C-alpha cells in the first residue's frame, strides 16, 4: 500500500504557480560588495530644488519579514546602521538622489528619491543571497556511535521521498524498504525489530502505513538520527536499529504559518510562535489530513474494466501535533508534546473468496494512536545533567475482513530517565532507568488453526472469539555506560539489565564501542553488543501463544573506518555481522517457540559531501547476505529480507535562493520470494491452493530495480511570505518494472505485475 501511496503522492494542482515560475525570473546572484562612495550618488548642482526629508526605515529580510539589525545605510557621504530592531531614522538631504542599503548575505538595495518622495516611515525588504559553496553548515555535535548517522532536516527534505525528512533513513546504508510496508528493514532485521522515537518518546509507528509519510510535521524537525546497529545501552527491546527524530530545541524568532496543499493526497497547516518576553518558549501546532477517500474511488472506477469487477478503496490518514517548548539559560529545556496519528482504509471489491451473496469482500483496517509526552532536561553546574521523559500512549489497531475482526488496544506508560555526570575532560558516566507498563485490550473473532488439515483455509475454519480488556505487561530496565578517553582511544562500555514481567524473565545485554583516531583524518571504529527483543503480548499469552517464550536475541559485530578526506568530503566504510537466535517462530505443538536462528553479514560504504549552502549529496551502498532456519536441524534458507545490493545516490544543488534541483537514484536487488511448486484444487472451497516446497523457501528473486526521482523547487519570496513550488517525478523505474509475481487461477501460469508508472507532480506550500 505504501508503494501505491508513494506513487500517488503526487500533486496535480498548482499549474497556476507554474505560470508564476515563468513570469518571475531570478536575478543573477552575487554576493554584494559594500557600497563605495561612487554607489552613492551625490547632489548635482543643476538638479531641481528639493526639500530635506525625515525618513524612518524598518529593514527586514524578504520572504520572512525578520528584522535586520546592523544594516549599513549610506546616505550621501554618511554611513549609518540600523538598530537592534532593524530601524533607522535620518534626514535625507535635498541634494541626495538615492541611498544604498547593504548587509552581508543580502542583495545590495538602492532606494531612489522618487521612492522616498515624502517624509515618513518605510518598510524595506532585502533579498537574501546564498553563501559560497565552501562553507559547511555546522550542526550540533552529539555523542558518537559507531553506526549512527545524523542528517539535518535541511538535507533530508531536499532528497527524501516526497520531501519528507524522516524518510531519509531509507536512503542510508544498511536499510531496505519492504514492498508493502512503510517501515524499514535494517541490516536484515525485520521492521518490528527496530524502534522509532521522537526525541525520547517511543512511537508505535513513525511512518503512516497508508501515506508512507512520517507522522511528525517537517517544520518541527531539527534532524534525523539513524543507528543501524551497535547502539548503546540506552536503547533496549530492539535487535535492529534505532530511528530518532530530533525536534527543534530552540524557540523560533517569529511566528510562522505553513500551509501545504497537495492534491489529491492531503492538506496540512502548521503554526509556531515564540512565547515569553525573552522568546525562551514556543508553541507549535499542526494538523494534516488526507482526502484520498473522496478522489480515489472515482479514479479507480474510471481505470477498471467491467470485467475486473467493482473496487472501492477509501484510504485515509491524518495526524496532528501540539508542542510547548521552554528553554532555560543553563541549556536545559522542557518539552510537552502531544502527537496523534491515524491510518486506515475501507475496501469493497469483488473477490472469489467472498462469503457474501454479492460476491464482494469488505476490508476495514484502522491504526491510530495518541501520545502525550513530557521531557525535561536539567543541566547543573556541578557536571550533572538529568533527563526525564515520561509519555503516555494510547494505540488502537483493528481490522475486519470477511467475518473476522481483530482489535487490540494498548495503553502504555513509558518512563525513561537518565543522569549524566561529567568525570573530567570529556569523560562522563551515564545511568538510566526505563519502566514501561501496558494495559492491553484484545477482542477478536478469528479462524481456529487446524494443524491436522493439510488444506487448511482460514475462511473454511471454525472461528474463535476472545474478549479481554485487562491484559497487562510491563518491562523494566536499568542501564549504564561510561564515555572514556585514553589517548587516541574513545571507549564506551555499557550494560543493560532488564526484566519482562509477563514472561517473568530477566537478562543482561553488554554493549561496547571503541573509536581509535589513527591520524587526524581517519578513525577506526568497533562495536559489539547483545540485543534483546521482548515477545509480543499475544506471543507470550496463555491463550494464543506460549507462556514459556523467551526474548529474541541478536549479537552485533561492527568494524568501521571513517575518513575525512577534506572539510567537505567524508566517507564511512563498515563491515557488520549479526547473529540472530531465539527467533520466535510458529510451532505446531507450542504455537510459538524460540527455535529460529539466522545471520546477516555484509559491508556498507557511505561517501558524503557535506552540506553547504549550495550543494550536498551522498553515495550509499550496502552488500549483504541474510539467512535463517526454522530450527537447528533445518537447512539454511534465504531470509525474506535478504537483499544483496542496495545503492542510493542522492544530491541537491541550489542554483540561487530561488531555484534548486534535487534527486536520487536507487539500485536494489530484487526481494526474494518462494515460488509455487504445484497446486491442488480444493473442492470444498472451489479454489486452487498453491503448494510450496520448504527447500525452495525464498529461493527465487524478483528482478533488480533502478529508480530515479528528481525535482525542481522554485521559491517565491514576498515581503513576509515565502511560497514554494516543487515539481518533479518520484520513482521513475528504469528497465524492468516488475513489482511482484502473480499466478493465474490454477497456478499453472506465472506473470509479473508491473509497478504503477511514475507520475509527474507539483506541490505548493506557503510560509507566512
Partner 1 sequence: MKYTLLPSIIMVSIIGCQNSMDSPETLQKLRAIGVKTTPHILTPENSNSSVNYTFYFAKPVGSPDLTVDNYNDPQSFVPYIPIDASSAVVSSENFGGMDLLEVTLSGGLSDLALLPIRPDIGFTTLPFGLTVSSGSEIENVVGRQVIVPVGEAAKYTIPEFTLSEPTSRTLSSATTPLSASLETVSEETYRISWYVSSGSVKNPKALVTVWKDIAVGENLLIFTARGRKTNAFFIKALKITR
* Site residues for partner 1 per CB under 8 A: 1, 180-181, 191-192, 204-205, 209, 304, 306-309, 311, 345, 347, 349-355, 357-361, 363, 365, 367, 395, 397, 399, 401, 406, 408, 448, 450, 452-455, 460, 462, 536, 678-686, 688, 691, 740, 742, 744-746, 749, 751, 753
The CA R_g of the chain, rounded to the nearest whole Å, is 30
**Closest Cα partner for 165 from 645, 612, 643, 652?**
652
Question: Quick one: CA torsion of 345, 350, 353, 359, rounded to 10 degrees?
Answer: 120
| Complex with partner 1: residue 72 or 366, whichever CB lies closer | 366
Q: How many CB atoms lie within 10 A of CB 463?
A: 12
| Complex with partner 1: residue 392 or 573, whichever CB lies closer | 392
Please state the closest distance from residue 553 (CB atom) to partner 1, in A.
18
| Complex with partner 1: residue 338 or 361, whichever CB lies closer | 361
| Complex with partner 1: residue 336 or 679, whichever CB lies closer | 679
Please state the closest distance from residue 1 (CB atom) to partner 1, in A.
5
Please state the closest distance from residue 535 (CB atom) to partner 1, in A.
11
Q: Where are the alpha helices (DSSP H) in 283-337?
A: 292-303
| Complex with partner 1: residue 72 or 460, whichever CB lies closer | 460
Please state the closest distance from residue 345 (CB atom) to partner 1, in A.
8
Q: How many CB atoms lie within 10 A of CB 711?
A: 23
| Complex with partner 1: residue 706 or 739, whichever CB lies closer | 739
**DSSP output for 436-472:** EEEEEEEEEEEEPP-TT-TT--TTTS-EEEEEEEEEE
Q: What are residue 732's DSSP bridge partners?
A: 708
Q: In what order do the strands lie in the sheet with 109-112?
A: 78-81, 72-75, 98-102, 109-112
| Complex with partner 1: residue 193 or 604, whichever CB lies closer | 193
**Closest Cα partner for 201 from 370, 336, 391, 438?**
391
Bond into 207 cis (ω within 30): no
Please state the closest distance from residue 531 (CB atom) to partner 1, in A.
17
> What is the C-alpha to C-alpha distance for residues 764 and 266, in angstroms, rounded to an integer?
12
| Complex with partner 1: residue 542 or 749, whichever CB lies closer | 749
Please state the closest distance from residue 339 (CB atom) to partner 1, in A.
15
> What is the C-alpha to C-alpha distance for residues 23 and 28, in angstroms, rounded to an integer?
16
| DSSP-assigned letter for residue 253 | S
Backbone angles phi, psi at 468, to 5 degrees: -145, 130
Please state the closest distance from residue 194 (CB atom) to partner 1, in A.
12
Cell of 663: 534527486
| Complex with partner 1: residue 126 or 637, whichever CB lies closer | 637
The 3-state DSSP composition of the chain as helix, strand, coil percent (nearest 5) reads 10, 55, 35
Q: How many CB atoms lie within 10 A of CB 728?
A: 20
Question: Where on the phi/psi map is residue 14: left (φ > 0), alpha (ψ -120 to 50), or beta?
Answer: left
> What is the C-alpha to C-alpha distance for residues 445 and 467, in angstroms, rounded to an integer?
9
Please state the closest distance from residue 191 (CB atom) to partner 1, in A.
8
Please state the closest distance from residue 742 (CB atom) to partner 1, in A.
6
- Give the DSSP H or E segment for 154: helix 153-159
How many residues in total does the chain contain? 768
53-61 and 120-126 beta bridge pairing:
parallel
Please state the closest distance from residue 412 (CB atom) to partner 1, in A.
12
| Complex with partner 1: residue 612 or 697, whichever CB lies closer | 697
| DSSP-assigned letter for residue 19 | H
Q: What are residue 404's DSSP bridge partners?
A: 401
Please state the closest distance from residue 615 (CB atom) to partner 1, in A.
38
Cell of 542: 496463555
Please state the closest distance from residue 361 (CB atom) to partner 1, in A.
6
| Complex with partner 1: residue 141 or 683, whichever CB lies closer | 683
| Complex with partner 1: residue 397 or 420, whichever CB lies closer | 397
Please state the closest distance from residue 585 (CB atom) to partner 1, in A.
14
> What is the C-alpha to C-alpha distance for residues 521 and 426, in angstroms, rounded to an integer?
20
| Complex with partner 1: residue 39 or 181, whichever CB lies closer | 181
Please state the closest distance from residue 414 (CB atom) to partner 1, in A.
15
Please state the closest distance from residue 476 (CB atom) to partner 1, in A.
22
> What is the C-alpha to C-alpha distance for residues 352 and 372, in angstroms, rounded to an integer?
44
| Complex with partner 1: residue 666 or 687, whichever CB lies closer | 687
| Complex with partner 1: residue 263 or 446, whichever CB lies closer | 446
Please state the closest distance from residue 162 (CB atom) to partner 1, in A.
19
> Rounded to whole angstroms, what are the CA distances from 763 to 120, 163, 727, 767?
40, 10, 6, 14
Backbone angles phi, psi at 573, to 5 degrees: -115, 130
> What is the C-alpha to C-alpha distance for residues 117 and 50, in angstroms, rounded to an integer?
10
Measured on CA atoms in the order 225, 231, 236, 238, is the torsion positive or negative?
A: positive
**DSSP output for 480-532:** EEEEEEETTEEEEEEEEEEEETTTTEEEEEEEEEEEEEEETTEEEEEEEEEEE
| Complex with partner 1: residue 332 or 359, whichever CB lies closer | 359
Please state the closest distance from residue 628 (CB atom) to partner 1, in A.
17
| Complex with partner 1: residue 8 or 71, whichever CB lies closer | 8
User: 3-state DSSP call for residue 22?
Assistant: helix
Amino acid at each position: 500500500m505504501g508503494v501505491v501511496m508513494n506513487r500517488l503522492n503526487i500533486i496535480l494542482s498548482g499549474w497556476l504557480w507554474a505560470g508564476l515560475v515563468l513570469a518571475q525570473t531570478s536575478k543573477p546572484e552575487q554576493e554584494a560588495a559594500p557600497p563605495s562612495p561612487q554607489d552613492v550618488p551625490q547632489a548635482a548642482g543643476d538638479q531641481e530644488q528639493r526639500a530635506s526629508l525625515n525618513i524612518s526605515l524598518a529593514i527586514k529580510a524578504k520572504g520572512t519579514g525578520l528584522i535586520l539589525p546592523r544594516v549599513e545605510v549610506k546616505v550621501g557621504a554618511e554611513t549609518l546602521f540600523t538598530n537592534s530592531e532593524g530601524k533607522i531614522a535620518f534626514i535625507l538631504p535635498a541634494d541626495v538622489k538615492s541611498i544604498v542599503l547593504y548587509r552581508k548575505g543580502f542583495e545590495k538595495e538602492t532606494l531612489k528619491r522618487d521612492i522616498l518622495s515624502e517624509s515618513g516611515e518605510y518598510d524595506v525588504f532585502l533579498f537574501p543571497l546564498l553563501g559560497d559553496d565552501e562553507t559547511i553548515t555546522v550542526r550540533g555535535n552529539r555523542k558518537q556511535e559507531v553506526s549512527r548517522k545524523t542528517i539535518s532536516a535541511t538535507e533530508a527534505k531536499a532528497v527524501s521521498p516526497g520531501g519528507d525528512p524522516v524518510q531519509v533513513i531509507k536512503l542510508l546504508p544498511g536499510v531496505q524498504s519492504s514492498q508493502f510496508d512503510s517501515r524499514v528493514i535494517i541490516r536484515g532485521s525485520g521492521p518490528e525489530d527496530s524502534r522509532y522515537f521522537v526525541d525520547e518518546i517511543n512511537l508505535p509507528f513513525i511512518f503512516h502505513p497508508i501515506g508512507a509519510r512520517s507522522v511528525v510535521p517537517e517544520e518541527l524537525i531539527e534532524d534525523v538520527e539513524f543507528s543501524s546497529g551497535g547502539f548503546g545501552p540506552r536503547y533496549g527491546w530492539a535487535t535492529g536499529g534505532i530511528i530518532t527524530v530530533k525536534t527543534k530545541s530552540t524557540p523560533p524568532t517569529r511566528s510562522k504559518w505553513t500551509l501545504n496543499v497537495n492534491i489529491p493526497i492531503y492538506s496540512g497547516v502548521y503554526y509556531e510562535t515564540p512565547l515569553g518576553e525573552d522568546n525562551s518558549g514556543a508553541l507549535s501546532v499542526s494538523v494534516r489530513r488526507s482526502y484520498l477517500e473522496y478522489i480515489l474511488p472515482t479514479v479507480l472506477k474510471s481505470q477498471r474494466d467491467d470485467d475486473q469487477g467493482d473496487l472501492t478503496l477509501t484510504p485515509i490518514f491524518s495526524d496532528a501535533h501540539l508542542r510547548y517548548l521552554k528553554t532555560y539559560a543553563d541549556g536545559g529545556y522542557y518539552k510537552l508534546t502531544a502527537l496523534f496519528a491515524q491510518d486506515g482504509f475501507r475496501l469493497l471489491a469483488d473477490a472469489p473468496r467472498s462469503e457474501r451473496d454479492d460476491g464482494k469482500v469488505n476490508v476495514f483496517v484502522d491504526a491510530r494512536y495518541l501520545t502525550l509526552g513530557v521531557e525535561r532536561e536539567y543541566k547543573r553546574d556541578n557536571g550533572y545533567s538529568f533527563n526525564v521523559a515520561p509519555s503516555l500512549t494510547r494505540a488502537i489497531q483493528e481490522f475486519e475482513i470477511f467475518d473476522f475482526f481483530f482489535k487490540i488496544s494498548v495503553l502504555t506508560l513509558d518512563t525513561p530517565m537518565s543522569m549524566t555526570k561529567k568525570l573530567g575532560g570529556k569523560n562522563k558516566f551515564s545511568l538510566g532507568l526505563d519502566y514501561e507498563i501496558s494495559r492491553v485490550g484484545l477482542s477478536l473473532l478469528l479462524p481456529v488453526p487446524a494443524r491436522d488439515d493439510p488444506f487448511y483455509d482460514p475462511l473454511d475454519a471454525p472461528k474463535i472469539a476472545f474478549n479481554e480488556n485487562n491484559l497487562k505487561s510491563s518491562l523494566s530496565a536499568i542501564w549504564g555506560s561510561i564515555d572514556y578517553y585514553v589517548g587516541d582511544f574513545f571507549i564506551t562500555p555499557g550494560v543493560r539489565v532488564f526484566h519482562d514481567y509477563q514472561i517473568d524473565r530477566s537478562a543482561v545485554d553488554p554493549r561496547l564501542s571503541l573509536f581509535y583516531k589513527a591520524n587526524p583524518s581517519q578513525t577506526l571504529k568497533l562495536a559489539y553488543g547483545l540485543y534483546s527483543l521482548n515477545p509480543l503480548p499475544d506471543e507470550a499469552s496463555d491463550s494464543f501463544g506460549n507462556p514459556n517464550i523467551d526474548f529474541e536475541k541478536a549479537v552485533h559485530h561492527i568494524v568501521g573506518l571513517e575518513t575525512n578526506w577534506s572539510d567537505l568530503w567524508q566517507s564511512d566504510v563498515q563491515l557488520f555481522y549479526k547473529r540472530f537466535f531465539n527467533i520466535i517462530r510458529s510451532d505446531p505443538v507450542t504455537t510459538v517457540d524460540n527455535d529460529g536462528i539466522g545471520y546477516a553479514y555484509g559491508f556498507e560504504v557511505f561517501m558524503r559531501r557535506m552540506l553547504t549552502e549550495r550543494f550536498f549529496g551522498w553515495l550509499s551502498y550496502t552488500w549483504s547476505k541474510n539467512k535463517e532456519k526454522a530450527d537447528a536441524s533445518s537447512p539454511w534458507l534465504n531470509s525474506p529480507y535478504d537483499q544483496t545490493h542496495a545503492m542510493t545516490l542522492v544530491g541537491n544543488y541550489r542554483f540561487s535562493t530561488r531555484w534548486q534541483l534535487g534527486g536520487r537514484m536507487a539500485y536494489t536487488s530484487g526481494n526474494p520470494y518462494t515460488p509455487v511448486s504445484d497446486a491442488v484444487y480444493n473442492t470444498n472451497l472451489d479454489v486452487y491452493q498453491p503448494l510450496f516446497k520448504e527447500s525452495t523457501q525464498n529461493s527465487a528473486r524478483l528482478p533488480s530495480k533502478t529508480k530515479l526521482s528528481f525535482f525542481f523547487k522554485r521559491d517565491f519570496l514576498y515581503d513576509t511570505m515565502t511560497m514554494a513550488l516543487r515539481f518533479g517525478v518520484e520513482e521513475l523505474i528504469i528497465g524492468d518494472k516488475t513489482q511482484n509475481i502473480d499466478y493465474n487461477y490454477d497456478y499453472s501460469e506465472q506473470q509479473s505485475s508491473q509497478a504503477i508508472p511514475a507520475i509527474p507532480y507539483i506541490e505548493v506550500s506557503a510560509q507566512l
